[in-house]
Amino acid sequence: MSALEVDTARLPLLLHELRLPAIGRLWPDWTARADQEGWPAARLLSTLAELEVAERARRRVERHLVEARLPPDKTLDNFDFTAVPMLSKARVMALAAGDSWLEKGANLLLFGPPGSGKSHAAAALGRALVENGHRVLFTRTTDLVQRLQAARQALQLEAALAKLDKYDLLILDDLSYVGKDQAETSVLFELISARYERRSLLITANQPFGEWGRIFPDPAMTVAAIDRLVHHATIFEMNVESYRRRAALGRKGKALRQAPDPLPEAQPS
Ligand code: ADP
Ligand code: MG
């Protein structure tokens, strides 16, 4: 055994013990290169440290992507902004950078008829935010309401809401699908209040506000919920025809302009 082999015999074990897997994997190549190119020792040390930190960040993003439960394949890259002129690409890109609105716990509301791209835009934005180091959870609103109601019945609502605090952004897809029976105990209102000015919500809905009376037990609570949501919010009304339908028409070679359906009217807000 050479002197070097004796010196490094315990290194894999030590790096494992210190939980430095990237250095554990990469040190043989990098030390060989450093020896060959005559690097100063400090340069090698700092290179290895950088590699470990970079890999740690990458693993964290991977974990956060799994926990975010985003629908697959919905990205900002494959979102066609020209199809939704009222959704400014520049503003969405600024939101995807994250920091300032998430720090304030500001909200984002996406309204539009079915197929207008709300879920895609929400998921794509969520994915970009995770990639930029934030924590996100994407959920159908009805699923989350169900979970929170179960928690309330077990007298665990506060704990369940506190657990959601770890997410910088909670994406509630399809708020307008919350059923009357689900609305009764108003966990949704508790959630909105709990996150108000602290943690961000991204809500998608077919109906802007007009129909929200159905979602909350009484008009006062509806007003209070909307008030909190819009206090610090960006609102996009995506009043375009279904992208699926347009894509189907496009495939048949019919220009959309030749056979437009009347666009659904926006509800008064
Ligand atoms: P919504 O949630 O508003 O009902 P979706 O986001 O589910 O609509 O969009 C319906 C389908 O059309 C999805 O497959 C989505 O990826 C696609 N889609 C919608 N808008 C766009 C767009 N602007 N660019 C690319 N794909 C889109
Ligand atoms: Mg949707």
pLDDT in tens, 90-125: 999 999 997 799 999 999 999 999 999 999 999 999
What count of other Cβ atoms lies within 10 Å of the Cβ of residue 202? 25
- b/e per residue 28-62 (b: at least 16 CB within 10 A): eeebeebeeeeeeeeebeebbeebbeebeeeeeee
Over residues 143-167, the pLDDT tens digits come to 999 999 999 999 999 999 999 999 9
The answer to whether the beta carbons of residues 268 and 210 sit under 8 Å apart is yes
The backbone torsions φ and ψ at residue 107, rounded to the nearest 5 degrees and listed phi first, read -115, 165
The backbone torsions φ and ψ at residue 171, rounded to the nearest 5 degrees and listed phi first, read -95, 115
What contacts 93, CB < 8 A, 6 or more positions away?
76
Mutate to test the pocket of ligand 1, among 75, 110, 120, 241 (most ligand atoms within 8 A of CB): 120
Q: What is the pLDDT of residue 183?
A: 67
Strands 200-205, 107-111: parallel, antiparallel or unpaired by DSSP? parallel
The answer to whether the beta carbons of residues 209 and 109 sit under 8 Å apart is no
> Tokens for 154?
């077990």
Q: Does residue 21 carry a pLDDT above 70?
A: yes
User: What percent of the chain has pLDDT above 70?
Assistant: 90
Ligand 2 midpoint to CA 204 (Å):
7
Nearest CA residue ID for atom 16, ligand 1: 120
Q: Give SS3 for 72.
A: coil
**Mind spelling out the 3-state secondary structure of 115-139?**
CCCHHHHHHHHHHHHHHCCCCEEEE
136-140 β-sheet, strand order: 136-140, 169-173, 200-205, 107-111, 233-237
Q: Does residue 219 carry a pLDDT above 50?
A: yes
Interval 61-74 mean pLDDT: 98
Q: Does residue 136 carry a pLDDT above 60?
A: yes
pTM: 0.85
Residue 114 Cβ < 6 Å to ligand 1: yes
Closest-lying ligand 1 atom to the alpha carbon of residue 173: 2
Q: What is the pLDDT of residue 255?
A: 47
Q: What is the pLDDT of residue 1?
A: 64
Q: What is the pLDDT of residue 155?
A: 95
Return the ligand number nearest the Cα of 248.
1
